[in-house]
A and B are shown apart, each in its own frame.
Chain A
């Protein structure tokens, strides 16, 4: 492997700071700040499994667990949670995201493709502790106020879960 440049280190740091910040904001229920990390036309996808080895790829022909073509879908989620009227979200489970293996796969300074692994540890009074995980594939884009999320693709390892899933625990 070639020598690491300062520019690479700076970019890696900048990318990680954004991804870790997203996890921090979700775990601390700072949803308005969290929405601010996304571009208006950001895509958010979490496909279902089609069989043991294949994930769905086309959200308009196959089943996705979550698919939002724009940020408006994330906004709906936050609105619903904030109604304080969702049986599943009041009280909310406690959660902690742990993210690792952050790897820049391609792109340039202004549009960066990133993959990383995640786990979420969750605790809900009735259920007790649960853990699940998978991979995030991001596309990050640089705008006038820094890096923002243009796309988040969540690979969720389970095809069967015993807890509700929402933006705060995947």
Chain B
């Protein structure tokens, strides 16, 4: 293969060359990426700045902060932020750093605080960030002081879409709506599963995988590994289904593990976002199935068929997955370093579902979606092996070339039914069209700024 494009493999990557690490010659049948992007610390630093601190990042679900004063402390890129609900019911955000010396303003990851009192020297702020108390103010400023000079630093942009709250540290970024683009119909398929709304269930789990964040982001929409890495999962639940004579919600549906057994496809949704889907072999196994009479009239037959009949892995680039497979999951990929990534997972569920459905949803969540389950450990270790392998500098390129011949520009017949306009579609779901979109977006964001 010619090696004309892409930076020199020896030595650290240079910041003006990052975008060239994506060797995009799709018109000649070639699309490959330089594996240094998985373990180079200079690339990582630039990603934090140009991707994670420059585009919209998911921070919380509205159900986690229902009341005035409720807050969540999380990270956007490398920066600690507080996302909170103000007295007027709106959602807002400040950098979680005291304006005095920078101490964190929250003792807990979540809680309720109508005012934020710094635990270091006691300065006090409204949850909006307004500085309302400086300890011993008169002694420190005998001539008076304008406390508004010491307000907390606001997060430049905070917006919600259907309960999913996003923050953006870049005041010049496009609107959230523009950013989400064609993902919105697919977010709706999760958000609209109950007329009462959705809720994040109590408790979360986090696991650290020694791999680059992009390997996690590929893996969440990688249909190709499912029949290999999760073969033992399919075998285990198939045996369990047989022993229990399981039916209805108790059944663990597993048609997607057999290539060709059900219809599948993948869509590049633009801005790096994408989705893979596969028909469920047994829609009645979905915990949502019981809600037909409540939800179908609200959403119409076509959308209902998508909701209950199709398992979907939706990636909101760069780091959020909304999974609706055997169970429903919010999965946040938080990079820690070039070769270490935290994954934080939550179960999201329709408000008002029956105890049986909730139980089934949690059972299936634990089965597949946790690092203490029957499937996720196998992904984690496979990704750690991949991280070790990409360190082999002489093996420079990863190709994303499977499926070029069958790629459709624009929507396929299924997407057209819902008036959804992907950049590109392909079937089956495990073809690599979607990764081309991911890495084009990466190159676009990483292109050196002048």
Q: Which residues of A contact B (CB under 8 A)?
A: 46-52, 56, 59-67, 72, 76-77, 79-80, 83, 85-89, 126-127, 159-166, 170
Contacts and interface: CB of A to CB of B under 8 A. Distances in A.
Contacts of B233: 80
Contacts of A166: 372, 377
27 contacts: A48-B203, A48-B204, A49-B204, A51-B109, A56-B203, A60-B362, A61-B201, A62-B201, A63-B202, A65-B366, A65-B370, A66-B366, A66-B372, A67-B366, A76-B239, A79-B239, A87-B229, A87-B385, A88-B381, A159-B204, A161-B207, A161-B371, A162-B210, A164-B377, A164-B380, A165-B371, A165-B372
Contacts of B374: 76-77, 80
A79 B206 contact: no
The 8 closest A-B pairs by CB, nearest first: A63-B203, A164-B377, A88-B377, A162-B208, A48-B203, A165-B372, A87-B378, A85-B232
Contacts of A64: 203, 362, 366
Contacts of B109: 51-52
A61 to B, nearest CB: 6
Given A63-B204, A65-B366, A76 B371 contact: no
B243 A72 contact: yes
B359 interface: yes
A interface majority secondary structure: loop
Given A61-B362, A64-B362, A159-B205, 17 more contacts: A46-B372, A56-B203, A60-B355, A60-B358, A61-B202, A63-B201, A63-B204, A65-B205, A80-B236, A87-B382, A88-B377, A126-B385, A127-B210, A160-B208, A162-B207, A162-B210, A165-B371
A52 B372 contact: no
B interface majority secondary structure: helix
A51 B388 CA distance: 34
Contacts of A165: 371-372, 377
B285 interface: no
Contacts of B359: 60
Contacts of B366: 63-67
Given A48-B204, A85-B232, A86-B377, A63 B372 contact: no
Nearest to A87: B378
A65 B110 CA distance: 20
A79 B203 contact: no
Interface string B264-293: 000000000000000000000000000000
Contacts of A83: 232, 235-236
Contacts of B342: 160
B379 to A, nearest CB: 8
A160 B334 CA distance: 13
A63 B347 contact: yes
